[in-house]
Structure 1
Amino acid sequence: MGIYDKNFYLCKGYKLKQKETRPLIFFHVPKCAGTTIFQIIQNLITPSMRLSGSPTNENSSQSAYELFENNRDRILNSNFNFISGHYQFEIKKHFQNYLSATILRDPVERLISHYNFIVDRGYISVKTNLEECFKKNYMPTNIMTQMFSCENNNDTFINKDKYNKALKVLTDEVDLVFDSNDTNKFLNQIISMYDLPNLFFQYAQKTKNKYFIKNDENIDIIKEFNHYDIKLYDYMKNKKLFTLVENFLPERNKDQYYNYSFDIFAKPEFSILNEKQFIHLKKAVESRKFKIIIS
């Protein structure tokens, strides 16, 4: 795991009239900050589980949906309070009493990030044709629409009906749907709802190397193969259907901070700090000219 985001984020939460008691299930769309979210929440909401696997068997991998089905009884009997993975929304029927959440990202930005990621990991070469990446499922097409409309990992044919179903699921059935630009606000919402410690964190799994050639031809290829995802994201954004955080709620007065940051060797550090320890860390961060963004 690499960390190349030099910004730090501070979430102090806000007071809510009622604490959330339901366990949490997160639908992790690839390259939408899900790794950061899991790494942080897994230490605050326990027991937790990250279900490995891809959404639709990319690069001949096993899918998260298959892994769930193969281990369904064990997973359900474990009574996890937080679950995350690249599975289809269809599994929500097994987690009826769970609060559901997801984060969506501008599809063009998401796929550029995904391309850089799979080149960096050696799954494809920089010489691999971009159209081939989609045709051979190195990068799944319309994956946001697929995850929220299809029955399983093998159900990958996307049409207008699937688009309409995904839109309905995201607007009527998923409890929290945030834009990736507001990931820190999503985390602020979670610590408020579950009355968790304040957060001080950096984003994880940033790809340092940029391999994608950003020109009109490549952008057009992304748009051609991901028409429904682009339509879905644009509709959600333009109609203001993403979850909105209430304004003017009173800030909490917690003196406990959960620190998720990285040392100079890019190794993650997890710690619970009191107010005095946090102030010391904050001064150290500021002395290194890092930017602190407050949610």
Structure 2
Amino acid sequence: MGVYHAGSRAVQDLAGARERADHVGRSLGQDIKPVAAAFLELQPLLVVGAADPGTGRVWASALTGAPGFVRATGPRQMSVTGGLVPDDPLAAALAVPGTPVGTLALDPRTRRRMRLNGRLRPTARGFAVEADQVFSNCPKYIQRRESFERAGGRGPGASRRCGRLEPADAETVRTADTFFVATVHGTGADASHRGGNPGFVRVVSPHELDWPDYPGNAMFRTLGNLREDPRAGLLFLDWDTGTTLQLTGEARTEFRAGGERTVRFTVARAVRTEDAVPLRWSAPEFSPANPAG
């Protein structure tokens, strides 16, 4: 498998970033190195992205557990203990052997993140992912949250599903400083992170939102996937209450003079779950990389 597919190459060329992307791409590999394995075992949260095998819709979901619930169980294998609640829109995908998945472990305490993409295999205790690509990202746009606690007695309520953003959903989006995005391409899936000061994601209507694509590592994996396949899934997490908002739909990127880019997302379905994540994080210290305004 090559480091980049045609979609990523096309966006790199539009951005004039192919040479930098080639340099950064040397960090991608299949092996889970000891420092990455140690990082995984400290995490209480893992984001997973994939396409539902029945509907074809792409979703991003949050899995949680005591540190150690995610760990390397081989030089190219990550194992996860536990799974999603049965009514999570991604639960069906995680039960199908061979499902392409993208995973992201992000630690707000250290502003570090690690991505592992590969093929899923259900196990007796959860699932494992055979790695195709393993890599870390720079700390840009990650808000520091110094600590977390497990909220006693918190458990997921019934999910509310609809085909648009309700007022509470729009407020969740407008006040978010972080969200996660899942995308797919012909041979795989990817889960990534977007961050900025609250308000960086704009609600255009109950059916559309957009956000600026800030300069990153020049790989353009998310935008490259969207160029080949517009399906995407977004996950907004309330870091205090544990409420999640999952959106699925399609996204397109608009390129403007001067290199500025905006991603526009059209909502097909929205799933809101109160108390979905049993973690309560401390207040954020915003990243110094966040653009003002």
Q: Which has the larger radius of gyration?
A: 1
TM-score when scaled to structure 2?
0.25
Q: Which has the higher helix share?
A: 1
